[in-house]
Amino acid sequence: MNFEKPNQSSTLKKKKNLGLQTRISDKLISILGYSNRTIVQFVINLTKQTSSQIEFRKKLEQFEFSSKEISLFVQELFDEIPTTKKRKNYRKKEEHVEEEEESCSRSRQRRKVSSEDEESDEEARIACDKEEREKLEKSIRERDARKIAERKVKKVRCDVKDRKEMRKLRKISREEYLKDREKKKLEEMRDEIEDEKYLFGDGLKLSELENSKLRYMKDVYEIVKKKKGLEDVCDDEYKMPEVYDDQFGGVNQEKRFAAALQRYKEVESGAEQKSWEDQQIGNGSLKFGSQDVNRNGDDYEYLFEDQIEFVKASVMEGENEEDMFDESSDGFREKERVQKLQDERKTLPIYRFREDLLKAIHDHQVLIIVGETGSGKTTQITQYLHEAGYTKRGKIGCTQPRRVAAMSVASRVSKEMGVKLGNEVGYSIRFEDNTSEKTVIKYMTDGMLLREFLGEPDLASYSVLMVDEAHERTISTDVLFGLVKDIARFRSDLKLIISSASLDANKFSDYFDGAPIFRIPGRRFPIEIHYTKAPEADYMDAAIVTILQIHLTQPPGDILVFLTGQEEIEAAEELLRQRTRGMGTKIAELIICPIFANLPLELQNNIFEPTPKGARKVVLATNIAETSLTIDGISYVIDPGFCKMKSYSPRTGMESLLVTPVSKASALQRAGRSGRTGPGKCFRLYTAFNYQNDLEENTVPEIQRTNISNVVLTLKCLGIDDLMAFDFMDPPPAETLLKALELLYSLNALNSVGQLTKTGRRMAEFPLDPMLSKMIVASEKYKCSEEIISIAAMLSAGNLVFYRPKEKKVHADAAKMNFHTGNVGDHIALLKVYSSWEEHNYSTQWCFENFVQVKTMKQARDIRDQLKGLLERVEIELSSSFNDVESIKKAITSGFFPHFALLQRTGAYRTGRNPQTAHIHPSSGLAYVLPKCVIYHELVLTTKEYMRQITEVKPEWLVEIAPHYYQLKDLQDAVVKKRPRVKHT
DNA sequence: GAGCACTGC
């Protein structure tokens, strides 16, 4: 409906107009999530003269809202009948107060439980109550006022029977309304001028437009004031006591806030006991206000309504504050450069411990080394050992959890030693072996060493083995622990170094039969840890508010925010842009840099661009920034305390990715990211109590939450028969282990007594999941190994084959369906994608045209090349039968028969031997085809149980291929006779 | 009609 002009409106409408500003403010907060600051400015401008939807739209467009936002907003504002969604929004708003009360009482309860000090508990309760009571009272007052007004209107309506009377009333109320409106406008203008002066007063440059607006407002205000006198303007509302007005007719803000601040001061200095948390963790707190940029130590601060209060809890001590490497040594001649590097080596924290360290290694076979990042352990220990002559007896191996780390560390060490990378110092990672016969110091990924075990079970060519970053506990390191511990028993000449940054080195020590622990101080600056005072209900919102708080109140330095995933990062980016948009030049520039693994590389590199002077960078990152990459210049870390973690259910074979609270170790690691180049601050968006009591000590090691059938096969291949007795540091759940053994048995990789078969031995050669390996081994029989390795490569390259931008969904889907013609199934579709790409000479252009991800394809090519090489090793001939779809499907079935599912009457599927309801994932080409009998690549739990990558098979094949697993009778009984109705789109 | 933390072989 249209918004009527005031002179036509009824009393009711007038009432509505009167509250327009409040309504708009509320709407903006609830619909668009704007900050108060933006809203006040916006609403004042908006309500000046506007009276129709069209005008509103125009106004809104001036403020650079998207047309979607505008439609939503205008509709919300003008529509009288609230939709469900809207109602929800209203309700949310109303419930807000109650929620706050509830959360307050919750935290109060928690405090009560935890606090041993009754009185301090009481203190906290009172403080909490006081704040809450005020908030509640305010909202109750407002609500009552609204109700009374509504009742009045009703009454008037009932009483008036006569039209004339109605008109008279309208006139009266119209007059009242106009008077009222005038008052309000003036008040607003006054406040606006005040706020402008106060918030963005001196020092901050305003744009020309902003300046002229302000001037205009001041002029109008002065004229009206002279004419009417300010005091009459607002006699029916709360008025600022005179004492606050300064001689210029403005309001003295310092006095205005003095009373409020007095309370905090009293609490701080006068109270004998503090709340439990204050006692525990000090009383630092962070306030909000743009003027803090220029001003320090004033006795009041402007507070935003939605500000978050932090309490400073502790300081992680810095251990060494020497300068970092200076790598700008290009102009030196070779010898001088080596000399300079040698000098630099001596400045590393580890250098002082060189002799002690060498002695410790000499005296003990196994040594646990604990050292923070930056101590130099990774680059130096290998060199010390080389210098001490350990390389005469064999190589020094050092494992890293990541490829990049292995490469860059090796490169660094080769420079320090003045040798060519790949000669004395080399690295070995998948797809790339940069070592030679001369190599004595070898860096490699942990998975690579595990592969080496297969060829050299006693690691005879190594004299020293160093497992670096052991605290990360990847599957590979965990398995390596067990293996190296074992070989160390009979190879007394082998030295073992386990290096970790974690605090629980004792666990490592215990595991390695009480090996001594050698501690090396790191090179980190002190970091202040801040916790929130009360739990935050919405961590996303809290993170945004905190970013702005830091931006406006803290000295220069970039911000790093840890979020859980791509979706969240994109949402946060949008929210942040919205909130800063209205501020224009009033705040310093905020550069927002998202980063997650799926982000195209060229965009990822944005985060390494140095921040321009006067600006501040906000990096919104997933866990990728926790370990995998280091960003310089980060001074502030915001840690909401969550991450996505994979979990695995051995019973159903289902994997899921869940948002889980981080562990203390992980929180510590995140905090440490702020202190690499200078003193840092970490803001945790949870309370100190949460940290102490709700977080796990360490992250559950990967081996306990993933499918380990691949690991089991590798271990079996190493001749470890009794896996239950294998010395895992943290053993995987027995059920997972049994499931893996069962799978390997049904794939014929193990015989009935659990020994490796010939098939199993061949399978173990492939760095793939056993089912994929089996598929490849089986391709020999069906003469289609060329096709099968393409499929295996595509499947193990990940789910990110097809790219689907929001704005080109239709095109992307159409392009994708090209590969699915004839409902061949997802496996064959992947094969088609790979072959077409190959036919087009691995063209990047082709990828763009077909909405296929280049990165994934290149990875698939690398994997395929590797698999091709391995085929030769296991003596499988390359053979191709591209057009014989049945053979290809049979080969796939040979690996994936345990993953079969049958269509049910309901349209859902029932999977395998441990029946489980599942659905075809909507991204599958068969999502609407619903074949009777399918095999799937993986089962994932997201919003539903989904099967990803589906191919239709015939039940007879299953019996033919896996007679030990299926009987035709069972399958035929299970297949539905009547097909469910297929939905069409 | 969904959604993909991060690695590694």
Q: What average pLDDT does the segment A799-828 reach?
A: 84
CA of A795 to C1' of B4 (A): 15
Share of chain A above pLDDT 70, in %: 68
Closest CA to the C1' of B7: that residue is: A402
Domain segments of chain A as ranges: 9-88, 92-228, 348-520, 527-703, 709-744, 745-974
- Domain A745-974 fold is Four Helix Bundle (Hemerythrin (Met), subunit A) (1.20.120)
Q: Considering only CA atoms, which residue is closest to the C1' of nucleotide B2?
A: A922
Q: What pLDDT does A98 receive?
A: 47
3-class SS string, A576-609? HHHHHHCCHHHCCCEEEEEECCCCCHHHHHHHHC
Q: What is the pLDDT of residue A17?
A: 40
Q: Which positions of strand B lie within 7 Å of protein CB atoms?
A: 1-9
Pick out the nucleotide with least CA–C1' distance to A944. B2
- What's the pLDDT tens digit per position in A288-336? 333 333 333 333 333 444 567 777 777 776 654 443 334 444 444 667 7
- Per-residue pLDDT at A719 exceeds 90: no
Interatomic separation, CA of residue A102 and C1' of nucleotide B8, rounded (Å): 46
Residue A190 has what DSSP assignment? H
Query: Tell me, what's the pLDDT at A890?
Result: 92
- The mean per-residue pLDDT over the stretch A168-195 comes to 71
Which nucleotide is closest to A626, CA to C1'? B6
Q: State mean pLDDT over A633-648.
A: 90
CA of A574 to C1' of B4 (A): 19
pLDDT surpasses 90 at A895: yes
Element holding A429 (H helix, E strand) = strand A425-429
Distance A801 CA to B1 C1' (A): 19
Model confidence at A659, in pLDDT bands (50, 70, 90)? confident
Edge-to-edge order in the sheet of strand A517-520: A432-434, A425-429, A441-445, A395-400, A462-467, A495-500, A366-371, A517-520
3-state secondary structure string across A494-510: CEEEEEECCCCHHHHHH
Please report, rounded to whole angstroms, the spatial distance between the CA atom of protein residue A850 and the C1' atom of nucleotide B9: 30
Band of the pLDDT at A95, cuts 50, 70, 90?
Answer: very low
- Provide the pLDDT confidence category of residue A371 given band limits of 50, 70 and 90: confident
pLDDT at residue A125 in the model: 53
- Residue with the bigger pLDDT between A302 and A89: it is A89
Pick the CATH number of A348-520 from 2.40.37.10, 3.40.50.300, 3.30.1330.10, 3.90.180.10: 3.40.50.300
- Going by pLDDT thresholds of 50, 70 and 90, the confidence category of residue A615 is confident
User: Residue A876 CA to nucleotide B5 C1', Å?
Assistant: 37
Q: Residue A839 — pLDDT band, cuts 50, 70, 90? A: very high
**Nearest nucleotide (C1') to alpha carbon of A806:** B3
C-alpha A17/C-alpha A5 separation (Å) is 10
At A245, the pLDDT band (50, 70, 90 cuts) reads: very low
Distance, CA of A925 to CA of A350 (rounded, Å): 57
**Backbone φ and ψ of A984, nearest 5°:** -115, 150
Provide the percentage of residues in chain A whose pLDDT is more than 90. 23
- Say if A348-520 and A527-703 have the same CATH topology: yes
- Name the least confident of A64-68, A84-88, A408-412: A84-88
Selected residue with higher pLDDT from A770 and A201:
A770
- A767: the nucleotide nearest its CA (via C1') is B9
| Å separating the CA of residue A595 from the C1' of nucleotide B2 | 23
- The reported pLDDT for the residue numbered A5 is 33
Highest mean pLDDT, choosing among A232-236, A314-318, A362-366, A967-971: A362-366
What is the pLDDT, as a whole number, of residue A24?
Answer: 60
Nucleotide at minimal C1' distance from the A647 CA: B5
pLDDT band at residue A377 using 50, 70 and 90 as cut-offs: confident
Q: What is the pLDDT of residue A299?
A: 32
Distance between the alpha carbon (CA) of A756 and the C1' atom of B2, Å: 40
Separation of A566 CA and B1 C1' (Å): 20
Question: Which residue's alpha carbon is at the shortest distance from the C1' of B8?
Answer: A447
pLDDT of residue A132: 63
Burial class (CB within 10 angstroms; exposed 0-12, middle 13-18, buried 19+) of A908: middle
CATH of span A709-744: 1.10.10.2130
Cα–Cα dist A460/A836, whole Å: 46
**A800: nt with nearest C1' to CA:** B4
- Residue A331, Cβ density class (10 Å: 0-12 exposed, 13-18 middle, ≥19 buried): exposed
What is the fold of A527-703?
A: Rossmann fold (3.40.50)
Q: Give the least confident one: A66-75, A458-467, A590-599, A676-685.
A: A66-75
The average confidence (pLDDT) of chain A is 75
Average pLDDT over residues A437-443: 92
* Selected residue with higher pLDDT from A116 and A398: A398
Which residue's C-alpha is at the least distance from the C1' of B9?
A767
Closest protein CA to C1' of nucleotide B5, residue: A644
- Higher per-residue pLDDT: A205 or A836: A836
What is the band of A496 on the pLDDT scale with cuts at 50, 70, 90?
very high
Interatomic CA–C1' length for residue A7 and nucleotide B5, angstroms = 59
pLDDT score of A723 = 87
pLDDT of residue A770: 93
Query: What's the pLDDT score for residue A197?
Result: 62
For the stretch A204-207, contacts whose Cβ atoms lie closer than 8 Å and that sit 24 or more positions apart, written own/partner, are A204/A290, A204/A293, A204/A294, A204/A585, A204/A586, A204/A587, A205/A585, A206/A585, A206/A586, A207/A584, A207/A585
- Mean predicted confidence (pLDDT) in A160-185: 69
- Cβ contacts of A55 within 8 Å, gap of 6 or more: A49
**Least trusted range by pLDDT, from A84-93, A437-446, A565-574, A959-968:** A84-93
Q: Which nucleotide is nearest to A798 (CA to C1')?
A: B4
Q: Residues A660-695: pLDDT tens digits? A: 899 988 898 888 888 878 888 999 999 998 899 888
Q: Which residues, at least 6 apart from A786, have a Cβ–Cβ distance to it below 8 Å?
A: A878, A879, A880, A882
pLDDT at A26: 63
Q: A433 near A412, Cβ under 8 Å?
A: no
- CA of A944, C1' of B8: distance in angstroms: 28
pLDDT of residue A720: 87
**Residue burial A656-680, b: 16+ Cβ < 10 Å; e: rest:** eeeebbbbbbbbbbbbbbbbbbebb
Q: Mean per-residue pLDDT for A713-734?
A: 89
Question: For residues A186 and A849, which has the higher predicted lDDT (pLDDT)?
Answer: A849
What local confidence, expressed as pLDDT, does residue A975 receive? 58
> In angstroms, rounded to a whole number, what is the distance separating the alpha carbons of residues A89 and A92?
5
Task: Return the residue matching tokens 């009272």.
Answer: A137
Q: How confident is the model at residue A11 (pLDDT cuts 50, 70, 90)?
A: very low
Q: Residue A794 pLDDT more than 70?
A: yes
For A618, phi then psi, to 5°, come to -115, 120
**What pLDDT sits at residue A234?**
41
Nearest nt to the A566 alpha carbon by C1' = B4
Range among A75-79, A246-250, A911-915 rated most confident: A911-915
The residue with tokens 């990789």 is A749
Residue A383 confidence class, pLDDT cut points 50, 70, 90 = very high
